[in-house]
Amino acid sequence: MKVPTRLVLKSDKLKEVALAGEVPVFPYFGGGEFRTDGGLFDVRSPIDQNVIARVIRPTREKALGVLERVYSVGRRAIRDTPGEERVDIFEKTADAIEDAREDFVNILMLNAGKTRKAAEGEVQAAIDRLRLAKLDVRRVYGDYVPGDWSRDTIETEAIVKREPLGVVAAILPFNYPLFDAVNKIVYSAIAGNAVIVKPASSDPLPALALSKLLIDSGFPPEAIAVLPLGGRDVGQLISDRRIAAISFTGSTETGLEVIKEAGIKQYVMELGGGDPAIVLEDADVGQAAQKIVTGITSYSGQRCDSVKFVLAEQGVYEDLKSAIVEGLSKVKVGDPREPETDMGPLIDTETADEVISAARDATSKGGMVLFGGEKVNELGPNYIRPTLIEVDASRLPTLYLYNKEVFASIAVIVKVSDLDQAIALSNGRRYGLDAAIFGHDVAKIRRAARLLEVGAVYVNDYPKHGIAYYPFGGMKDSGIGREGIGYTIEYVTAYKSIIYNYRGAGVWDYL
Protein backbone atom coordinates (compact mmCIF):
# COMPACT_ATOMS: atom_id res chain seq x y z
CA MET A 1 0.00 0.00 0.00
CA LYS A 2 1.55 3.29 -1.09
CA VAL A 3 1.91 6.00 1.55
CA PRO A 4 0.46 9.28 0.17
CA THR A 5 2.99 12.10 -0.14
CA ARG A 6 2.75 14.74 2.57
CA LEU A 7 5.24 17.48 3.38
CA VAL A 8 5.98 17.90 7.07
CA LEU A 9 8.71 20.43 7.90
CA LYS A 10 10.87 19.66 10.92
CA SER A 11 13.49 22.39 11.25
CA ASP A 12 12.44 25.49 13.20
CA LYS A 13 13.79 27.85 10.55
CA LEU A 14 11.81 26.34 7.70
CA LYS A 15 8.72 26.05 9.85
CA GLU A 16 8.94 29.85 10.21
CA VAL A 17 8.70 30.23 6.40
CA ALA A 18 5.60 28.16 5.69
CA LEU A 19 2.18 29.21 6.87
CA ALA A 20 0.12 26.44 8.43
CA GLY A 21 -2.83 25.16 6.44
CA GLU A 22 -4.23 21.95 5.05
CA VAL A 23 -0.80 21.78 3.36
CA PRO A 24 2.12 24.18 4.05
CA VAL A 25 1.73 27.53 2.26
CA PHE A 26 4.95 29.23 1.11
CA PRO A 27 4.93 33.02 0.70
CA TYR A 28 7.24 34.54 -1.89
CA PHE A 29 10.32 36.52 -0.90
CA GLY A 30 10.59 40.03 -2.29
CA GLY A 31 11.55 43.54 -1.27
CA GLY A 32 13.27 42.32 1.88
CA GLU A 33 10.45 40.24 3.36
CA PHE A 34 8.21 37.22 2.87
CA ARG A 35 4.96 38.38 1.31
CA THR A 36 1.49 36.98 1.00
CA ASP A 37 -0.03 39.46 -1.46
CA GLY A 38 -0.72 37.21 -4.42
CA GLY A 39 -2.67 34.27 -5.76
CA LEU A 40 -2.08 30.67 -4.70
CA PHE A 41 -0.92 27.80 -6.87
CA ASP A 42 -0.62 24.12 -6.06
CA VAL A 43 2.69 22.31 -5.89
CA ARG A 44 2.26 18.61 -6.62
CA SER A 45 4.51 15.64 -6.02
CA PRO A 46 5.44 13.71 -9.18
CA ILE A 47 5.33 10.56 -7.02
CA ASP A 48 1.53 10.47 -6.80
CA GLN A 49 0.33 13.91 -8.02
CA ASN A 50 -0.77 14.87 -4.49
CA VAL A 51 -0.74 18.56 -3.60
CA ILE A 52 2.09 18.83 -1.05
CA ALA A 53 2.21 22.63 -0.71
CA ARG A 54 0.75 25.86 -1.99
CA VAL A 55 2.82 28.83 -3.07
CA ILE A 56 1.91 32.49 -3.26
CA ARG A 57 2.55 33.94 -6.70
CA PRO A 58 2.95 37.71 -7.05
CA THR A 59 1.17 39.56 -9.82
CA ARG A 60 3.33 41.02 -12.58
CA GLU A 61 2.87 44.48 -11.05
CA LYS A 62 4.01 43.28 -7.62
CA ALA A 63 6.99 41.59 -9.26
CA LEU A 64 7.97 44.90 -10.87
CA GLY A 65 7.60 46.57 -7.47
CA VAL A 66 10.03 44.01 -6.03
CA LEU A 67 12.42 44.69 -8.90
CA GLU A 68 12.36 48.41 -8.08
CA ARG A 69 13.29 47.69 -4.45
CA VAL A 70 16.06 45.28 -5.46
CA TYR A 71 17.36 47.79 -8.01
CA SER A 72 17.19 50.90 -5.86
CA VAL A 73 18.20 49.44 -2.47
CA GLY A 74 19.48 45.86 -2.86
CA ARG A 75 21.88 46.59 -5.72
CA ARG A 76 23.82 49.04 -3.53
CA ALA A 77 23.46 46.96 -0.37
CA ILE A 78 25.21 43.90 -1.79
CA ARG A 79 27.91 45.94 -3.49
CA ASP A 80 28.61 47.73 -0.24
CA THR A 81 28.88 44.47 1.71
CA PRO A 82 32.63 43.76 1.89
CA GLY A 83 33.72 40.67 -0.06
CA GLU A 84 34.97 38.93 3.04
CA GLU A 85 31.54 39.30 4.63
CA ARG A 86 29.87 37.87 1.53
CA VAL A 87 32.04 34.76 1.84
CA ASP A 88 31.14 34.55 5.51
CA ILE A 89 27.41 34.82 4.72
CA PHE A 90 27.71 31.86 2.36
CA GLU A 91 29.60 29.84 5.01
CA LYS A 92 26.79 30.54 7.48
CA THR A 93 24.16 29.63 4.90
CA ALA A 94 25.96 26.31 4.32
CA ASP A 95 25.83 25.67 8.09
CA ALA A 96 22.11 26.51 8.10
CA ILE A 97 21.41 24.07 5.24
CA GLU A 98 23.31 21.41 7.19
CA ASP A 99 21.04 22.06 10.17
CA ALA A 100 17.93 21.79 7.98
CA ARG A 101 19.39 18.99 5.82
CA GLU A 102 16.59 16.49 6.44
CA ASP A 103 13.92 19.01 5.40
CA PHE A 104 15.76 19.80 2.16
CA VAL A 105 16.25 16.10 1.37
CA ASN A 106 12.57 15.51 2.01
CA ILE A 107 11.51 18.46 -0.14
CA LEU A 108 13.70 17.23 -3.02
CA MET A 109 12.30 13.69 -2.76
CA LEU A 110 8.68 14.83 -2.59
CA ASN A 111 8.79 17.85 -4.86
CA ALA A 112 11.34 16.80 -7.49
CA GLY A 113 10.84 13.01 -7.21
CA LYS A 114 14.53 12.39 -6.39
CA THR A 115 15.70 9.23 -4.70
CA ARG A 116 17.07 9.78 -1.20
CA LYS A 117 20.61 9.29 -2.51
CA ALA A 118 20.11 11.85 -5.30
CA ALA A 119 18.40 14.30 -2.92
CA GLU A 120 21.22 13.93 -0.39
CA GLY A 121 23.72 14.46 -3.22
CA GLU A 122 22.05 17.70 -4.27
CA VAL A 123 21.90 19.05 -0.72
CA GLN A 124 25.59 18.24 -0.21
CA ALA A 125 26.43 19.86 -3.55
CA ALA A 126 24.62 23.03 -2.44
CA ILE A 127 26.57 23.07 0.85
CA ASP A 128 29.90 22.47 -0.94
CA ARG A 129 29.16 25.16 -3.52
CA LEU A 130 28.43 27.73 -0.81
CA ARG A 131 31.67 26.88 1.00
CA LEU A 132 33.67 27.09 -2.24
CA ALA A 133 32.54 30.69 -2.83
CA LYS A 134 36.03 31.53 -1.58
CA LEU A 135 37.42 30.08 -4.83
CA ASP A 136 35.33 32.48 -6.93
CA VAL A 137 36.85 35.56 -5.38
CA ARG A 138 40.19 35.52 -7.20
CA ARG A 139 38.32 35.87 -10.49
CA VAL A 140 36.77 39.11 -9.34
CA TYR A 141 40.20 40.72 -9.58
CA GLY A 142 41.20 42.93 -12.51
CA ASP A 143 44.38 44.11 -14.23
CA TYR A 144 46.90 46.90 -13.99
CA VAL A 145 47.76 48.00 -17.55
CA PRO A 146 50.89 50.14 -18.09
CA GLY A 147 50.51 52.71 -20.86
CA ASP A 148 54.05 52.72 -22.25
CA TRP A 149 53.59 50.11 -24.94
CA SER A 150 51.80 52.58 -27.16
CA ARG A 151 52.91 56.11 -28.13
CA ASP A 152 49.31 57.19 -27.71
CA THR A 153 49.10 56.21 -24.02
CA ILE A 154 52.62 56.98 -22.80
CA GLU A 155 52.71 58.46 -19.27
CA THR A 156 49.28 57.12 -18.53
CA GLU A 157 48.19 53.89 -16.86
CA ALA A 158 44.97 52.06 -16.17
CA ILE A 159 43.28 49.82 -13.72
CA VAL A 160 40.89 47.51 -15.54
CA LYS A 161 38.50 46.21 -12.94
CA ARG A 162 35.54 43.88 -12.94
CA GLU A 163 32.36 45.62 -11.88
CA PRO A 164 29.10 43.97 -10.89
CA LEU A 165 26.39 44.50 -13.49
CA GLY A 166 23.65 45.27 -10.97
CA VAL A 167 20.68 42.92 -10.88
CA VAL A 168 20.93 39.37 -12.24
CA ALA A 169 17.75 37.43 -13.05
CA ALA A 170 18.35 33.74 -12.28
CA ILE A 171 15.79 31.51 -14.02
CA LEU A 172 15.89 27.93 -12.74
CA PRO A 173 14.99 24.58 -14.28
CA PHE A 174 13.14 21.96 -12.25
CA ASN A 175 15.94 19.41 -12.08
CA TYR A 176 18.32 21.03 -9.56
CA PRO A 177 15.97 23.36 -7.70
CA LEU A 178 18.29 23.85 -4.72
CA PHE A 179 21.76 23.57 -6.25
CA ASP A 180 21.01 25.81 -9.21
CA ALA A 181 19.57 28.49 -6.93
CA VAL A 182 22.68 28.32 -4.74
CA ASN A 183 25.12 28.31 -7.66
CA LYS A 184 23.54 31.26 -9.45
CA ILE A 185 23.21 33.28 -6.23
CA VAL A 186 26.82 32.56 -5.19
CA TYR A 187 28.56 33.59 -8.39
CA SER A 188 26.29 36.60 -8.92
CA ALA A 189 26.57 37.94 -5.37
CA ILE A 190 30.27 37.18 -4.89
CA ALA A 191 30.79 39.51 -7.83
CA GLY A 192 28.57 42.11 -6.11
CA ASN A 193 25.25 41.66 -7.88
CA ALA A 194 21.75 41.52 -6.43
CA VAL A 195 19.73 38.49 -7.60
CA ILE A 196 16.11 37.86 -8.49
CA VAL A 197 15.45 34.12 -8.61
CA LYS A 198 12.60 32.71 -10.69
CA PRO A 199 12.24 29.03 -9.73
CA ALA A 200 10.52 26.44 -11.92
CA SER A 201 6.79 26.31 -11.17
CA SER A 202 6.88 22.56 -10.59
CA ASP A 203 9.34 22.73 -7.66
CA PRO A 204 9.76 26.23 -6.22
CA LEU A 205 10.02 25.15 -2.56
CA PRO A 206 13.83 24.72 -2.23
CA ALA A 207 14.60 28.25 -3.52
CA LEU A 208 11.97 29.80 -1.23
CA ALA A 209 13.34 27.92 1.78
CA LEU A 210 16.89 28.92 0.81
CA SER A 211 16.04 32.64 0.83
CA LYS A 212 15.15 32.42 4.53
CA LEU A 213 18.52 30.86 5.38
CA LEU A 214 20.42 33.44 3.33
CA ILE A 215 18.72 36.35 5.07
CA ASP A 216 19.21 34.82 8.51
CA SER A 217 22.90 34.43 7.63
CA GLY A 218 23.23 38.15 6.91
CA PHE A 219 22.55 38.45 3.16
CA PRO A 220 21.18 41.97 2.58
CA PRO A 221 17.42 41.28 2.41
CA GLU A 222 16.70 43.73 -0.40
CA ALA A 223 19.44 42.21 -2.55
CA ILE A 224 17.62 38.91 -3.05
CA ALA A 225 14.13 38.02 -4.21
CA VAL A 226 12.54 34.68 -5.02
CA LEU A 227 9.56 35.24 -7.29
CA PRO A 228 7.61 32.08 -8.14
CA LEU A 229 6.14 33.55 -11.33
CA GLY A 230 4.81 31.41 -14.14
CA GLY A 231 7.13 31.12 -17.13
CA ARG A 232 4.70 33.09 -19.30
CA ASP A 233 4.59 35.96 -16.78
CA VAL A 234 8.32 36.59 -16.75
CA GLY A 235 8.65 38.52 -20.02
CA GLN A 236 7.94 41.97 -18.64
CA LEU A 237 10.32 41.44 -15.74
CA ILE A 238 13.30 40.18 -17.73
CA SER A 239 12.89 42.75 -20.49
CA ASP A 240 13.06 45.55 -17.91
CA ARG A 241 16.23 47.62 -18.27
CA ARG A 242 16.87 47.35 -14.51
CA ILE A 243 17.77 43.67 -15.07
CA ALA A 244 21.33 43.75 -16.40
CA ALA A 245 22.08 40.05 -16.83
CA ILE A 246 20.22 36.79 -17.16
CA SER A 247 21.45 33.45 -15.93
CA PHE A 248 19.06 30.91 -17.41
CA THR A 249 19.05 27.14 -17.19
CA GLY A 250 16.37 25.29 -19.10
CA SER A 251 15.45 23.97 -22.50
CA THR A 252 16.80 25.40 -25.75
CA GLU A 253 13.27 26.36 -26.83
CA THR A 254 12.60 28.38 -23.67
CA GLY A 255 16.10 29.85 -23.81
CA LEU A 256 15.41 31.27 -27.24
CA GLU A 257 12.16 32.84 -25.97
CA VAL A 258 14.06 34.37 -23.05
CA ILE A 259 16.61 36.02 -25.36
CA LYS A 260 13.84 37.30 -27.65
CA GLU A 261 11.91 38.68 -24.67
CA ALA A 262 14.82 40.17 -22.75
CA GLY A 263 16.80 41.79 -25.57
CA ILE A 264 20.21 43.36 -25.07
CA LYS A 265 21.68 42.03 -21.81
CA GLN A 266 24.53 39.88 -20.66
CA TYR A 267 23.66 36.15 -20.72
CA VAL A 268 24.67 32.83 -19.22
CA MET A 269 22.47 30.27 -20.97
CA GLU A 270 22.67 26.61 -19.92
CA LEU A 271 20.38 24.92 -22.41
CA GLY A 272 19.39 21.51 -23.70
CA GLY A 273 21.82 18.65 -24.06
CA GLY A 274 21.73 14.88 -23.91
CA ASP A 275 25.23 13.55 -24.42
CA PRO A 276 26.95 10.95 -26.62
CA ALA A 277 29.19 8.28 -25.08
CA ILE A 278 31.76 6.97 -27.56
CA VAL A 279 33.20 3.54 -26.80
CA LEU A 280 36.47 2.61 -28.50
CA GLU A 281 37.57 -0.91 -29.33
CA ASP A 282 40.15 -1.01 -26.55
CA ALA A 283 37.75 0.13 -23.82
CA ASP A 284 37.16 -1.78 -20.61
CA VAL A 285 33.65 -2.92 -21.59
CA GLY A 286 32.45 -3.75 -18.08
CA GLN A 287 33.52 -0.38 -16.72
CA ALA A 288 32.12 1.54 -19.71
CA ALA A 289 28.77 -0.27 -19.51
CA GLN A 290 28.40 0.34 -15.80
CA LYS A 291 29.15 4.06 -16.15
CA ILE A 292 26.89 4.41 -19.17
CA VAL A 293 23.99 2.76 -17.31
CA THR A 294 24.43 5.30 -14.51
CA GLY A 295 24.70 8.08 -17.10
CA ILE A 296 21.40 6.99 -18.67
CA THR A 297 19.39 6.37 -15.50
CA SER A 298 20.65 8.78 -12.85
CA TYR A 299 17.74 11.07 -11.78
CA SER A 300 15.62 9.23 -14.34
CA GLY A 301 17.61 10.79 -17.19
CA GLN A 302 16.39 14.27 -16.21
CA ARG A 303 19.87 15.73 -16.43
CA CYS A 304 21.18 17.92 -19.21
CA ASP A 305 24.39 15.82 -19.05
CA SER A 306 22.53 12.52 -19.23
CA VAL A 307 23.83 9.92 -21.73
CA LYS A 308 21.43 9.71 -24.68
CA PHE A 309 23.62 8.12 -27.39
CA VAL A 310 26.03 5.21 -27.17
CA LEU A 311 28.29 5.10 -30.23
CA ALA A 312 30.44 1.97 -30.09
CA GLU A 313 33.13 0.60 -32.39
CA GLN A 314 32.46 -2.81 -33.94
CA GLY A 315 34.94 -4.82 -31.83
CA VAL A 316 33.17 -4.04 -28.54
CA TYR A 317 29.65 -3.46 -29.81
CA GLU A 318 27.91 -6.78 -29.01
CA ASP A 319 29.53 -7.22 -25.59
CA LEU A 320 28.82 -3.63 -24.65
CA LYS A 321 25.19 -3.88 -25.79
CA SER A 322 24.59 -7.00 -23.67
CA ALA A 323 26.31 -5.46 -20.64
CA ILE A 324 24.23 -2.26 -20.85
CA VAL A 325 20.97 -4.20 -21.25
CA GLU A 326 21.92 -6.34 -18.26
CA GLY A 327 22.75 -3.21 -16.25
CA LEU A 328 19.43 -1.56 -17.15
CA SER A 329 17.52 -4.69 -16.15
CA LYS A 330 18.91 -4.32 -12.61
CA VAL A 331 17.74 -0.72 -12.23
CA LYS A 332 14.81 -0.70 -9.81
CA VAL A 333 12.09 1.74 -10.77
CA GLY A 334 9.88 2.76 -7.88
CA ASP A 335 8.78 5.23 -5.26
CA PRO A 336 11.88 7.37 -4.67
CA ARG A 337 11.25 7.35 -0.93
CA GLU A 338 11.95 3.61 -0.80
CA PRO A 339 15.62 2.89 -0.10
CA GLU A 340 16.03 0.21 -2.80
CA THR A 341 14.70 2.46 -5.60
CA ASP A 342 17.25 3.54 -8.22
CA MET A 343 14.93 5.46 -10.52
CA GLY A 344 11.88 7.48 -9.48
CA PRO A 345 9.16 9.21 -11.52
CA LEU A 346 9.53 11.80 -14.26
CA ILE A 347 8.53 15.33 -13.32
CA ASP A 348 5.38 15.23 -15.48
CA THR A 349 3.18 12.84 -17.41
CA GLU A 350 3.77 14.66 -20.75
CA THR A 351 7.44 13.67 -20.67
CA ALA A 352 6.54 10.05 -19.87
CA ASP A 353 4.22 10.11 -22.91
CA GLU A 354 7.00 11.67 -24.99
CA VAL A 355 9.28 8.72 -24.16
CA ILE A 356 6.71 6.30 -25.52
CA SER A 357 6.18 8.30 -28.71
CA ALA A 358 9.95 8.78 -29.21
CA ALA A 359 10.44 5.00 -28.90
CA ARG A 360 7.63 4.46 -31.44
CA ASP A 361 9.23 6.97 -33.79
CA ALA A 362 12.54 5.09 -33.53
CA THR A 363 10.98 1.69 -34.23
CA SER A 364 9.07 3.11 -37.21
CA LYS A 365 12.51 4.02 -38.62
CA GLY A 366 14.00 0.56 -38.20
CA GLY A 367 15.06 0.82 -34.57
CA MET A 368 14.64 -2.02 -32.10
CA VAL A 369 13.77 -1.57 -28.43
CA LEU A 370 16.34 -3.59 -26.49
CA PHE A 371 14.98 -2.64 -23.09
CA GLY A 372 12.06 -0.63 -21.69
CA GLY A 373 10.04 1.53 -24.04
CA GLU A 374 7.05 1.36 -21.72
CA LYS A 375 5.46 2.96 -18.71
CA VAL A 376 5.26 1.30 -15.32
CA ASN A 377 1.56 1.99 -14.93
CA GLU A 378 1.16 0.23 -11.61
CA LEU A 379 3.41 2.89 -10.06
CA GLY A 380 1.65 5.88 -11.65
CA PRO A 381 1.50 7.86 -14.90
CA ASN A 382 4.98 9.44 -14.52
CA TYR A 383 7.00 6.22 -14.25
CA ILE A 384 8.86 4.70 -17.21
CA ARG A 385 11.35 1.88 -17.55
CA PRO A 386 14.84 2.97 -18.57
CA THR A 387 14.90 2.55 -22.33
CA LEU A 388 17.56 1.51 -24.81
CA ILE A 389 16.94 1.43 -28.56
CA GLU A 390 19.28 0.01 -31.18
CA VAL A 391 19.38 1.74 -34.51
CA ASP A 392 21.51 1.69 -37.63
CA ALA A 393 23.99 4.56 -37.93
CA SER A 394 22.49 5.62 -41.27
CA ARG A 395 19.02 6.14 -39.69
CA LEU A 396 20.13 7.85 -36.49
CA PRO A 397 19.90 11.44 -37.85
CA THR A 398 16.23 10.87 -38.79
CA LEU A 399 15.19 10.03 -35.23
CA TYR A 400 13.10 12.37 -33.08
CA LEU A 401 15.53 11.53 -30.26
CA TYR A 402 18.47 12.77 -32.29
CA ASN A 403 16.84 16.07 -33.15
CA LYS A 404 15.08 16.91 -29.89
CA GLU A 405 16.21 16.33 -26.32
CA VAL A 406 13.78 13.99 -24.53
CA PHE A 407 14.34 14.73 -20.86
CA ALA A 408 14.08 11.18 -19.54
CA SER A 409 15.97 7.91 -19.23
CA ILE A 410 16.02 6.94 -22.91
CA ALA A 411 19.11 6.28 -25.04
CA VAL A 412 20.01 4.98 -28.48
CA ILE A 413 22.86 2.54 -29.18
CA VAL A 414 24.59 2.59 -32.56
CA LYS A 415 27.43 0.54 -34.09
CA VAL A 416 29.96 2.87 -35.75
CA SER A 417 32.58 1.94 -38.31
CA ASP A 418 35.26 4.09 -36.69
CA LEU A 419 35.92 7.04 -34.42
CA ASP A 420 35.37 9.60 -37.15
CA GLN A 421 31.85 8.31 -37.78
CA ALA A 422 31.13 8.60 -34.05
CA ILE A 423 32.42 12.18 -34.06
CA ALA A 424 30.37 13.04 -37.16
CA LEU A 425 27.19 11.64 -35.59
CA SER A 426 27.87 13.52 -32.35
CA ASN A 427 28.55 16.78 -34.15
CA GLY A 428 25.55 16.37 -36.44
CA ARG A 429 23.19 17.20 -33.58
CA ARG A 430 22.19 20.77 -32.91
CA TYR A 431 23.19 20.33 -29.27
CA GLY A 432 26.78 20.37 -28.03
CA LEU A 433 26.88 20.13 -24.26
CA ASP A 434 29.31 17.32 -23.36
CA ALA A 435 30.61 13.99 -24.63
CA ALA A 436 32.12 10.93 -22.97
CA ILE A 437 34.78 8.71 -24.52
CA PHE A 438 35.79 5.30 -23.18
CA GLY A 439 39.05 3.63 -24.23
CA HIS A 440 42.81 3.77 -23.89
CA ASP A 441 44.23 4.78 -27.29
CA VAL A 442 45.65 8.18 -26.38
CA ALA A 443 45.82 9.48 -29.93
CA LYS A 444 42.19 8.57 -30.64
CA ILE A 445 41.04 10.11 -27.37
CA ARG A 446 43.01 13.27 -28.08
CA ARG A 447 41.58 13.46 -31.60
CA ALA A 448 38.05 13.11 -30.25
CA ALA A 449 38.66 15.76 -27.59
CA ARG A 450 39.89 18.07 -30.34
CA LEU A 451 37.07 17.55 -32.81
CA LEU A 452 33.95 17.08 -30.67
CA GLU A 453 31.82 20.26 -30.73
CA VAL A 454 30.97 20.30 -27.03
CA GLY A 455 31.75 22.25 -23.88
CA ALA A 456 33.30 19.31 -21.98
CA VAL A 457 34.75 15.89 -22.80
CA TYR A 458 34.83 13.21 -20.09
CA VAL A 459 37.46 10.50 -20.60
CA ASN A 460 36.54 7.11 -19.10
CA ASP A 461 33.62 8.54 -17.17
CA TYR A 462 30.03 9.53 -17.85
CA PRO A 463 29.36 13.29 -18.06
CA LYS A 464 28.55 14.88 -14.72
CA HIS A 465 28.67 18.59 -14.02
CA GLY A 466 28.59 18.01 -10.27
CA ILE A 467 29.21 21.14 -8.23
CA ALA A 468 30.61 23.02 -11.25
CA TYR A 469 34.16 22.57 -9.98
CA TYR A 470 35.18 22.26 -13.63
CA PRO A 471 33.44 24.70 -15.95
CA PHE A 472 30.63 23.37 -18.13
CA GLY A 473 28.32 24.81 -20.72
CA GLY A 474 27.27 24.28 -24.26
CA MET A 475 28.30 24.97 -27.79
CA LYS A 476 25.70 25.46 -30.54
CA ASP A 477 22.09 25.15 -29.27
CA SER A 478 23.28 24.02 -25.83
CA GLY A 479 24.09 27.46 -24.62
CA ILE A 480 26.12 30.59 -24.13
CA GLY A 481 28.83 31.01 -21.51
CA ARG A 482 30.03 28.66 -18.80
CA GLU A 483 29.00 27.81 -15.28
CA GLY A 484 31.95 26.87 -13.13
CA ILE A 485 33.46 28.02 -9.88
CA GLY A 486 35.29 31.23 -10.74
CA TYR A 487 34.53 31.04 -14.45
CA THR A 488 31.00 32.51 -14.39
CA ILE A 489 32.26 35.73 -12.82
CA GLU A 490 33.11 36.75 -16.40
CA TYR A 491 29.43 36.72 -17.40
CA VAL A 492 27.99 38.62 -14.42
CA THR A 493 30.52 41.44 -14.43
CA ALA A 494 31.76 44.03 -16.91
CA TYR A 495 35.24 45.46 -17.27
CA LYS A 496 35.64 49.08 -16.35
CA SER A 497 38.89 50.84 -17.33
CA ILE A 498 40.01 53.68 -15.08
CA ILE A 499 42.73 55.62 -16.90
CA TYR A 500 45.11 57.95 -15.10
CA ASN A 501 46.88 60.64 -17.07
CA TYR A 502 50.24 61.79 -15.61
CA ARG A 503 51.61 63.41 -18.75
CA GLY A 504 54.23 66.00 -17.84
CA ALA A 505 53.85 65.37 -14.10
CA GLY A 506 57.34 63.95 -13.77
CA VAL A 507 56.33 60.44 -12.74
CA TRP A 508 58.26 58.81 -15.56
CA ASP A 509 61.63 59.92 -16.98
CA TYR A 510 61.36 58.52 -20.48
CA LEU A 511 64.34 59.30 -22.71
Rounded to the nearest 5°, which phi and psi values hold at 204?
A: -85, -5
| 272 part of the interface to ligand NAP, by CB under 6 A | yes
Within 285-344, which residues bind ligand NAP (CB under 6 A)?
A: 304
Q: Is 173 in the site for ligand NAP (CB under 6 A)?
A: yes
Tell me how far, at minimum, the Cβ of 43 lies from ligand NAP, in Å: 11
Nearest approach, Cβ of residue 405 and ligand NAP (Å): 5
Interface with ligand NAP, residue 453, by CB under 6 A: no
- Please, how many CA atoms are within 13 Å of residue 351, restricted to the half-sphere of its CB? 19
Cross-strand bridge partners of residue 389: 369, 412
If the CB atoms of residues 84 and 350 are measured against ligand NAP, the closer one turns out to be 350
Rounded CA separation 195/17 (Å): 20
Question: Which amino acid appears at position 38 of this protein?
Answer: G
| Catalytically annotated residue among 304, 390, 483, 490 | 304
Which helix (H) or strand (E) segment holds residue 451: the answer is helix 442-451
Round to whole Å and give the CA distance between 26 and 14: 10
Q: Provide Rg for the chain, Cα atoms.
A: 24
Q: Is 171 in the site for ligand NAP (CB under 6 A)?
A: yes
Within 13 A of 164's CA, how many CA atoms are on the CB side?
26
> Which listed residue (405, 434, 477, 490) binds ligand NAP by CB under 6 A?
405
Do 106 and 123 contact (CB within 8 A), yes or no?
A: no
Closer to ligand NAP at the Cβ: 103 or 405? Answer: 405
**Active site residue: 102, 253, 261, 270, which one?**
270
Minimal distance, residue 235 CB to ligand NAP, in Å: 6
Task: Find the angle CA(420)-CA(421)-CA(424) to the nearest 5 degrees.
Answer: 85
Contact pattern from residue 193 through residue 222 relative to ligand NAP, giving x for each residue in contact according to CB under 6 A and a dash for the rest:
-----x-xxx--------------------
Using the contact rule CB under 6 A, the part of the chain among 44-52, 86-94, 123-131, 266-274 near ligand NAP is 266-274
**Catalytic residue at 33?**
no
In whole angstroms, the minimum distance from the beta carbon of 508 to ligand NAP comes to 49
- Determine which residue in the list 4, 21, 39, 230 makes contact with ligand NAP, applying CB under 6 A: 230
SS3 at position 132: coil
Q: Provide, for the chain, the percentages of residues in helix, strand and coil under a 3-state DSSP scheme, each rounded to the nearest 5.
A: 40, 25, 35
Interface stretch with ligand NAP, choices 268-276, 335-343, 437-445, 486-494 (CB under 6 A): 268-276
Annotated catalytic, 270?
A: yes
Q: Are 32 and 70 in contact (CB under 8 A)?
A: no
What DSSP string describes 199-262?
Answer: --TT--HHHHHHHHHHHHTT--GGGEEE----GGG-HHHHHSTT--EEEEES-HHHHHHHHHHH
What does the per-residue mask of binding to ligand NAP show for 473-502, with x meaning CB under 6 A? -x---xx-----------------------
Q: Which residue is nearest to ligand NAP (CB)?
A: 231
Q: Which residues would be at the binding site for ligand NAP (CB under 6 A)?
A: 171-175, 198, 200-202, 230-232, 234-235, 249-251, 254, 257-258, 261, 270-273, 304, 405, 407, 433, 474, 478-479
The catalytic residues are 270, 304
